[in-house]
A and B are shown apart, each in its own frame.
Chain A
């Protein structure tokens, strides 16, 4: 009839993934933790019988996304503009090699320079390994839109990271970079 401890444990397995998505959504560490918390409480509210939710990860992502969207609406928040410097707060924790750490930091900077809709799709597909149809359901967009955002996001990030590994910011690429659909 209602959720139980084993379901809570199933939730727990996905908290790290929720954190990643929350970070991509909010672009801010503290907001991200808040989002995860809200999403978990909401998830607990909706859990019913064990086995009720078949694809827990995808279901949790949907809730997290909805929490984020409803917050945006509520606050009528203007789009968060984050300067690249803010991303310096990203601290690799696991002590990767210095070289890797730098490379990943640059990659995330490039990633964060992508439009939000492309970042979300790229994370869900490439990092979280979700199916295109799942991503379409989470974001409530047609699958064709998922595909085009994925394709553009990947290519844009590749171009950004091409060369010396630093995100390029040539003015003449701007019109293309700014195109958001």
Chain B
């Protein structure tokens, strides 16, 4: 509909309804409406319609705070993963440059305590942190997840210890392998809960523990992907987090956290013992 009279266009009328008419045009439009009450009536109906639509939508699409939070957590995880990838890429780039200067790096250091400081070089020699496999990948994934989730004061786990049965069932289904959290209470670490995480090698279970001082540990468990189906307990370090990794019968484990190395080793041995190895 094109109601052009004295320069008043349909666009002007719409803008009038939406309260965004250029103030310079306002007197002209008002004069026009005064002279055309049927048009004024129609515009009034549009305003009511706008108000009604807002209320109707508010009722039809009600607030969903819980769903909002779930979406946000997803976005947060997504963001953290992306940032970590970037950081890794940057670190790897630097390490490649340094490595080239020195004349080559070593492999992923996976032996005993001879680890300290070897992080950057090892990532570079493993192709920018992307092509890790076996126990090294396990440790990398556990540490990356630990950095993200252990730092989360509000919601470190998706299902807490009170829902252990649900958690265990869920994770076992998704991993197509029975997984249960190990019990580290004797060593002073409480089971907090866990979650499912995504890795380059498929889904993994992530269990979290803490002690009275607030120290948190993460235990990652997933089926191994064609490498290191059986691997002895080894010290690992990735993303600035110390830990231990091992594999038995095709299932990989990595326990990482901020505890000191001796303690971590004891805890890892205990976890290994409980999970059926040695």
Decide if B52 touches A41 in the complex (CB within 8 Å): no
Collect the chain A residues with CB atoms within 8 Å of residue B46's CB: 154, 158
The CA of A131 and the CA of B20, in the complex, are separated in Å by 8
B56-108: which have CB < 8 Å to A? Answer: 56-64, 67-68, 71-72, 74-76, 78-79, 82-83, 86
CB-nearest residue of chain B to A33: B67
- Determine which residue in B49, B64, B78 has the highest number of CB atoms from chain A within 10 A of its CB, and name it: B49
Residues of chain B with a CB closer than 8 A to A94's CB: 58-59, 62
Q: A2-B83, A44-B82, A104-B56 are in contact. Are A158 and B61 (CB under 8 A)?
A: no
Smallest CB-CB separation from B58: which chain A residue?
Answer: A94
Query: Cα distance A150–B1 when bound, in Å?
Result: 11
Smallest CB separation, A154 vs chain B (Å)? 5
A67 interface residue, CB < 8 Å from B?
Answer: no
CB distance from B22 to the nearest CB of A (A): 12
State in angstroms the CA–CA spacing of A34 and B14 once bound together. 33
| Distance A75 CA – B242 CA, assembled complex (angstroms) | 46
Please judge, given known A-B contacts A2-B86, A45-B82, A92-B60, whether A100 and B55 are in contact too, CB under 8 Å. yes
> What's the dominant secondary structure at chain A's contact region?
helix
A45, B67: Cα distance in complex, Å: 20
Residue of B whose beta carbon sits closest to that of A40? B75
How far, in whole Å, are A107 and B50 apart by their CA atoms in the complex? 11
B45 at interface, CB cutoff 8 A: yes
State whether B59 touches A107 (Cβ < 8 A): no
If A2-B83, A126-B54 are given as contacts, then 12 extra A-B residue pairs at C-beta distance below 8 Å, sorted by A number, are A12-B68, A16-B64, A23-B60, A36-B71, A41-B74, A44-B75, A93-B62, A104-B55, A107-B49, A111-B53, A132-B15, A161-B49
Ranked nearest first, the 8 interchain pairs of A and B with the lowest CB-CB distance are A93-B62, A104-B56, A92-B59, A126-B50, A90-B60, A44-B75, A15-B68, A107-B56
User: Which residues from chain B sit less than 8 Å from chain A, CB to CB?
Assistant: 1, 10-11, 13-15, 17-18, 20, 42, 45-46, 49-50, 52-64, 67-68, 71-72, 74-76, 78-79, 82-83, 86
